[in-house]
Amino acid sequence: MTAVTSPGAGRIEWVRTSCRLLASIAAEYEQARPFAGLRIGTGIHLEPKTVALLLTLKAGGAEVISTGNLNSTQPATVAHLREAGVTVIGEPTRDPEVHRADIDGVLDTKPHLLLDNGGDLFVRFLEHPYPGLLGGTEETTSGRKRLEPLRDAIARPVLVINDSPIKQFAENEHAVGQSVLESFIRFTNRVTNGRHVVVFGYGACGRGVAMNFRNAHARVSVVEIDPVVRLRALFDGFAVPDRDEALADADIVVTVTGARDVITARDLPALADGVILANAGHFPTEIDVDGIAGDPRVLKRVEATDGIATFQLITGRSIHLLGGGHMVNLSGPRPLGNSIESMDLGFSLQARCLEAVARGRVGADSCVVPVPRAIDEQVAAAYVAIARRRAAASPVGA
Ligand SMILES: NC(=O)c1ccc[n+]([C@@H]2O[C@H](COP(=O)([O-])OP(=O)(O)OC[C@H]3O[C@@H](n4cnc5c(N)ncnc54)[C@H](O)[C@@H]3O)[C@@H](O)[C@H]2O)c1
């Protein structure tokens, strides 16, 4: 085996050895080679956990061509992947035009399978189709919403990882909540105790965010547009005020809805002095940062080097924004993202779903549909088996 020496290799190695499920799949793939002769194009966050996934696909015989998402690409990860033989197109960027060109760069290689994260690859493929695309996967809710209306045009199997119950509870609920809380503390080094946190959106991600801030002794309110989901938040013990009432009394606001313009310049008069805004939704459009920055009531915007921007208002009040409104758990100083184990599970679903498409086990009728139940069961059983082996190896009291 070649020793990989790029910067950040220690962290990448730590993550790789923690992805026990992917390691077992990679070992199997080295023999079975399900992707032999196939090119897989990926447009997913390039951070250390992705390395384990992309190298698992490579172990299965795939040629992997990847690019990152907006504002989450980590240079050490890119260097490591390139050294390990994965083609990485582009560099870290916040510029949507540059990102679009990188997506085109992936598609120019005419991949047989696409691993998408937000729908960019499939949407662009439809604008410039080529023969030979078998299908692929989409990681997120936001991507599923974009691709659903395009089913007739895509007409190939596309399995949506986010709709797996495993992804819903292990990553979206437990891991996003933990990492958003961790990121708030990482950015601000402020207490959460006694602070009023307002969470916009109470899907799986919002539930985890609300629960984790509550566990960190914050007072948490939920603003949710769906009355049934809002009722659920109430039953889970959260206050559910209307949005203006919630904002007026908020110390911290987290958006995690998948919608755009959730917080805009319209809200400036309602926001309390010193409020901290953060977004955990996929797109950096949940908080209309440009609209806020350009509003005449904003005197100036001060960028701190550690990812905190402060908008000073003509009224003398200040509003802080974390990570420029990009996903707070994947931006700012030393972003770690969601827990390794949750990603190990989600990425194992990715590998098994791409394998199912490559082997023709799912057809065009499975276009933008959840992960097949058999794959959920296979991945869940494998994770529990590894956890049991670990428990048996170190029995309590031994
Ligand atoms: N940060 C991360 O690591 C991470 C991980 C996974 C998913 N995500 C993203 O988080 C977002 C939410 O994901 P989810 O799975 O919870 O989605 P979801 O669709 O299950 O839940 C979103 C909720 O937000 C509500 N909502 C929509 N617009 C709203 C508004 N203007 N005000 C208040 N509530 C509103 C909806 O009614 C819904 O209940 C998506 O963009 C997803 O891609 C982020």
DSSP for 17-67? HH-HHHHHHHHHHHHH-TTTT-EEEEES--SHHHHHHHHHHHHTT-EEEEE
Describe the crossing of helices 48-59 and 340-358 by its angle, rounded to 10 degrees.
30
Q: Is the pLDDT of residue 217 over 90?
A: yes
CA distances, 128 to each of 107, 110, 165 (Å): 9, 10, 33
pLDDT tens digits, 375-392? 999 999 999 999 998 778
295 CA from centroid of ligand 1 (Å): 26
pLDDT band at residue 75 using 50, 70 and 90 as cut-offs: confident
The pLDDT of residue 398 is 52
152 CA from centroid of ligand 1 (Å): 25
Pairing of strands 367-370, 196-200: unpaired
C-beta of residue 336 within 8 angstroms of C-beta of residue 147: no
C-beta of residue 342 within 8 angstroms of C-beta of residue 168: no
280 CA from centroid of ligand 1 (Å): 8
The pLDDT of residue 5 is 53
The pLDDT of residue 45 is 83
> How far apart (Å, rounded) are the C-alpha atoms in residues 7 and 48?
12
Residues forming a β-bridge with 276 = 252, 320
Question: Which of 116, 141, 144 most suits a substitution to test ligand 1, by most atoms within 8 Å of the C-beta?
Answer: 141
Q: Is the pLDDT of residue 249 over 80?
A: yes
259 CA from centroid of ligand 1 (Å): 7
Q: Which residue puts its alpha carbon closest to atom 18 of ligand 1?
A: 203
Q: Is the pLDDT of residue 130 over 90?
A: yes
The pLDDT of residue 396 is 60
Find the mean pLDDT for residues 359-371. Answer: 97
pLDDT tens digits, 287-334? 999 999 999 999 999 988 799 999 999 999 999 999 999 999 988 988
CATH topology of domain 9-163+338-393: Rossmann fold (3.40.50)
pLDDT tens digits, 158-170? 999 998 999 999 9
Find the mean pLDDT for residues 225-233. Answer: 98
For the chain, the structural domain boundaries read: 9-163+338-393, 171-330
257 lines ligand 1 (CB under 6 A): yes
CA distances, 270 to each of 248, 265, 266, 302 (Å): 5, 10, 8, 21
The pLDDT of residue 87 is 95
CATH topology of domain 171-330: Rossmann fold (3.40.50)
- Least confident span in 50-54, 88-92, 228-232, 279-283: 88-92
Q: Is the pLDDT of residue 1 over 50?
A: no
> How far apart (Å, rounded) are the C-alpha atoms in residues 295 and 265?
7
Report which of residues 398 and 257 the model is more confident about. 257
Q: Is the pLDDT of residue 49 over 90?
A: no
Find the mean pLDDT for residues 262-276. Answer: 97
Question: Which of 171, 205, 211 most suits a substitution to test ligand 1, by most atoms within 8 Å of the C-beta?
Answer: 205
The pLDDT of residue 304 is 82
Percentage helix, strand, coil, to 5, in the chain?
A: 45, 15, 35
Residue 346 CB coordination number (10 Å): 23
> How far apart (Å, rounded) are the C-alpha atoms in residues 355 and 161?
13
Find the mean pLDDT for residues 28-35. Answer: 98
The pLDDT of residue 6 is 54
Question: Which of 139, 221, 282 most suits a substitution to test ligand 1, by most atoms within 8 Å of the C-beta?
Answer: 282
The pLDDT of residue 298 is 96
C-beta of residue 240 within 8 angstroms of C-beta of residue 233: yes
Tell me what the pLDDT averaged over the chain comes to: 93
45 lines ligand 1 (CB under 6 A): no
Length of the chain: 398
Identify each DSSP E strand in the chain by its residue range. 39-43, 63-67, 87-88, 113-116, 135-138, 158-160, 196-200, 219-223, 252-255, 275-279, 298-303, 308-313, 318-322, 367-370
> How far apart (Å, rounded) are the C-alpha atoms in residues 325 and 281?
9
203 lines ligand 1 (CB under 6 A): yes
The pLDDT of residue 390 is 76
204 CA from centroid of ligand 1 (Å): 7
The pLDDT of residue 334 is 86
C-beta of residue 233 within 8 angstroms of C-beta of residue 202: yes
Which tokens hold the place of 51?
């390395």
